[in-house]
Structure 1
Amino acid sequence: MWEVPGTYARTVFHDRHPKLLRQLAEAFPLTLAQRDALYALVDETLHGPVAPLPPDAPDAATWATWGKGRFARPWAEASFLWAESYFYRRLLDAFGYLGPGAWHGVDPFGPAKSAELRGAAVDDELAGLDELDGLPGGQLRDALLTASLWGNRADLGFLVTAEAAEADTSLLADDSARMWTHLDAHPGGRICWVADNAGRELLPDLVLIDHLLTTGLAAEVTLHVKPRPYYVSDATPRDTLAALRRLRDAGGAAERIGTRLWQAVADGRL
């Protein structure tokens, strides 16, 4: 049960989701049918039972299995993680992402992700890559790993300073030394990389991937992203290409990194 006042889960469904729909209405010229479907979804999550996907949905059978025992019951009786995941799956239907027509394949969260990628904060962070060229190898890779770990909480310019080590003080566990030891002892393999968010979090991931490929610690990197928009900021293949273009257009070290990664994709190494 997550309908307890003051809890994070209740805030998500009662406050965050309605706000998200208002943002979608501002970002897109939604039709009346789309608006009705989106607001009907929010109303269902707050007041109605969980409805299954349409029988002709491509993943209807999968969600029928995942949702066994949850359908036709109040949303608040489902686990929060399942309920929020299913909400975002249903949002794609209401928006028209999976259906035929003009909205097929349009990322409902695309404008927000694009705005972040074009922001001044990203300009500053990419410019900070120019300061990394003179760092010793060990310090460089530790800085890149820390930036990748913390995502948009890290600033590459900050990480080249003497205080960079302080960024690690909140870690519950740190296996970075074991990771580097393993890669040093077994270079040239294939690394599987599971990405999380797009934009400012994906960029430092790509910068570290470039370092692994350039130094020969990896011969190939397989980057796993979401096949379709999920939650708001999760990275998709389209977001990955947008991040690569952002690097290539930035100038300086960022441009060189983006150019190498672009070629790595073409060569099948990324």
Structure 2
Amino acid sequence: MATVPASLAGSFQGSFAYFSIKDRLPQILTRVIDTLHRHKNEFFEEHGEKGIEAEKNTISILSKLRNELQTDKPLVPLDDKLPDVPLWNQYLEYQQNLLDGNEQPSWFQSPWLYVECYMYRRIHEALVHNPPIDDYDVFKEAKVQSFFESQQAIIALCTYLQEILKNIEDLDEKQLQEEFFKLLQVSLWGNKCDLSISAGEDNSQKASPLKSLDNLKTFILVDDMESIWSLLINNKKRRTSEEITRVDIVLDNAGYELITDLVLANFLLSSKLVTEIHFHGKCIPWYVSDTTKQDFNWTIKQLQSANNRWMSRCGMNWEGSIKKGVWVYHDHMFWTLPHEFCSMAQVATDLYTELQKSRLIIFKGDLNYRKLTGDRKWEFTVPFHQALNKFHPAPLCSLRTLKSDVQVGLKPGQGEQFVTSEPDWMICGKYGVVQFDASL
């Protein structure tokens, strides 16, 4: 058995992990503090003096957190009494046990994936400790803004979907495949819109996403679309009328990217490639723009009430799919733990069992890719299957634009060529992968 390489960490000076912990994470904390400060009057109007007091205390906790991060202090256990606290604190102990006796896990010395997740969980803890603002989503404003600034692209996508649906019964297999490939790529490139990478700066999608697909094709470094298509079409051909074919989508960002995922889901159902779709989002605000249940419901309501007929048609249809039970939303706490996915079977057996019912799991985005591959310093040519480290609940694929220092499954020499010609190729969001693993 080949050994598993070391985790990416901030201790590698000059690495993207180091830059993220040094610059990006403190920036995100500063933005959170600023957001709370700007909403002081709102907290006062809703909750009186208690609201102001809670805002002050939360800001004070977050300022202390920012200082701990910037001075590489040891990580401390969580203490907010939420159900995931024992798992977080066990994970801290596990990290402690990996070190020599005298060392303690700290911001720059511990795995980047862990400390980044830990920061978002500590932001949540600061709010939980301060009712009545304990359920306030500090990232909501940024997510809403990103949604509204992507209106043109959303209209273009909803219009395109409604056009396809009009004639979907008449499409032959080749045409169906073409539309599937298009919408899969739209969902892939929707992942460029990530607010945690831009530290909350505007990154909305302004133009029609369909017009640029041909130009973007050359930026897909691994393209397993054919394999995904044959899995789906063969399932469809073999299915008896009573049978359920389920696809799971593990969501990433709210806003424009979520729309691209919902459009893909609508197409999969309407084309009868699948019979039900299960979405998985986050149970707390996470990585600035990740989708929570509130974001999911808010997005569908926004579309329903839009003054564009195709947007509102999409919104009505999607609400209908939820009511019929052919769209199901889940938010298991495992998605906001620091664990890589290969430990899901042990840590969250119920979720792993649930995912085993799926015919295909689509993992969206960079964080899911990092957790799939353990966020380690893999060689570029290591097969995707190997990097998954025995995580195989069902056939799965990753739709991801590259925004961090991990990439596997490349052809010999492909990664090295980029290292020379384009040093920031792994973090600039310009390249994407559609990577498939048929599982065991």
TM-score with structure 1 setting the length: 0.87
In structure 2, the partner of 1:7 is 15
CA contact (8 A) 1:53 1:60 kept: yes
In structure 2, the partner of 1:90 is 122
Offset from partner CA, 1:184-233 (integer Å, 9 cap, x none): 22235111111111111111000110111122222110001111111111
Deviation, 1:148, is 0.6
The code of the aligned residue for 1:16 comes to R
- Once residues 45 and 70 of structure 1 are traced to their aligned partners in structure 2, the CA distance between those partners, rounded to angstroms, is 17
- Once residues 89 and 226 of structure 1 are traced to their aligned partners in structure 2, the CA distance between those partners, rounded to angstroms, is 12
- Once residues 55 and 241 of structure 1 are traced to their aligned partners in structure 2, the CA distance between those partners, rounded to angstroms, is 27
SS in 1 for 2:253: coil
The code of the aligned residue for 1:36 comes to S
Q: Classify 1:180/1:32 alpha carbon distance in 2 versus 1 (closer, same or farther; 3 Å).
A: same
In structure 2, the partner of 1:101 is 131
Q: Give % identity.
A: 28
CA contact (8 A) 1:50 1:70 kept: no
1:263 aligns with 2:320: yes
- Once residues 268 and 158 of structure 1 are traced to their aligned partners in structure 2, the CA distance between those partners, rounded to angstroms, is 29
The code of the aligned residue for 1:260 comes to N
SS in 1 for 2:186: helix
In structure 2, the partner of 1:40 is 64
Matches within 5 A, 1:16-35: 16-28=24-36, 29=40, 31-35=55-59
- Once residues 61 and 188 of structure 2 are traced to their aligned partners in structure 1, the CA distance between those partners, rounded to angstroms, is 38
Q: Classify 1:131/1:58 alpha carbon distance in 2 versus 1 (closer, same or farther; 3 Å).
A: closer
In structure 2, the partner of 1:190 is 246
In structure 2, the partner of 1:252 is 309
Higher helix share: 1
SS in 1 for 2:138: coil
Q: Classify 1:62/1:123 alpha carbon distance in 2 versus 1 (closer, same or farther; 3 Å).
A: same
Matches within 5 A, 1:116-131: 116-119=146-149, 122-129=150-157, 130-131=159-160
CA contact (8 A) 2:11 2:108 kept: yes
In structure 2, the partner of 1:169 is 218
Matches within 5 A, 1:181-260: 181-187=230-236, 189-250=245-306, 251-260=308-317
- Equivalenced residue count is 264
- Higher mean C-alpha displacement, 79-88 vs 146-155: 146-155
Q: Classify 1:175/1:155 alpha carbon distance in 2 versus 1 (closer, same or farther; 3 Å).
A: farther
TM-score with structure 2 setting the length: 0.55
Higher relative CO (Cα under 8 Å, sequence separation at least 6) belongs to 2
The code of the aligned residue for 2:21 comes to F
- Higher mean C-alpha displacement, 171-180 vs 201-210: 171-180
Gaps in structure 2 of 5+ consecutive residues? 1-8, 41-53, 97-103, 168-174, 193-204, 237-243, 328-440
Q: Which one of 204, 208, 214 corresponds to residue 157 of structure 1? A: 208
Q: Classify 1:168/1:155 alpha carbon distance in 2 versus 1 (closer, same or farther; 3 Å).
A: farther
Q: Classify 1:183/1:155 alpha carbon distance in 2 versus 1 (closer, same or farther; 3 Å).
A: farther
- Higher mean C-alpha displacement, 212-221 vs 28-37: 28-37
- Higher mean C-alpha displacement, 246-255 vs 233-242: 246-255
Offset from partner CA, 1:141-182 (integer Å, 9 cap, x none): 2221110111154777342x4x63332222222221222222
Q: Classify 1:73/1:25 alpha carbon distance in 2 versus 1 (closer, same or farther; 3 Å).
A: closer
- Once residues 178 and 56 of structure 1 are traced to their aligned partners in structure 2, the CA distance between those partners, rounded to angstroms, is 45
Deviation, 1:86, is 0.9
SS in 2 for 1:68: helix
Alignment RMSD: 2.4
Offset from partner CA, 1:87-132 (integer Å, 9 cap, x none): 11111112x1x3462112211111111111122xx22112213245
Deviation, 1:9, is 2.5
1:146 aligns with 2:171: no
- Once residues 70 and 46 of structure 1 are traced to their aligned partners in structure 2, the CA distance between those partners, rounded to angstroms, is 20
- Once residues 131 and 31 of structure 2 are traced to their aligned partners in structure 1, the CA distance between those partners, rounded to angstroms, is 22
In structure 1, the partner of 2:418 is none
CA contact (8 A) 2:120 2:286 kept: yes
SS in 2 for 1:144: helix
Q: Classify 1:252/1:60 alpha carbon distance in 2 versus 1 (closer, same or farther; 3 Å).
A: same
Q: Classify 1:61/1:210 alpha carbon distance in 2 versus 1 (closer, same or farther; 3 Å).
A: same
Q: Which one of 95, 113, 116 corresponds to residue 143 of structure 2? A: 113
In structure 1, the partner of 2:83 is 58
- Once residues 144 and 5 of structure 1 are traced to their aligned partners in structure 2, the CA distance between those partners, rounded to angstroms, is 39
The code of the aligned residue for 1:266 comes to K
- Once residues 88 and 114 of structure 1 are traced to their aligned partners in structure 2, the CA distance between those partners, rounded to angstroms, is 19
Gaps in structure 1 of 5+ consecutive residues? none
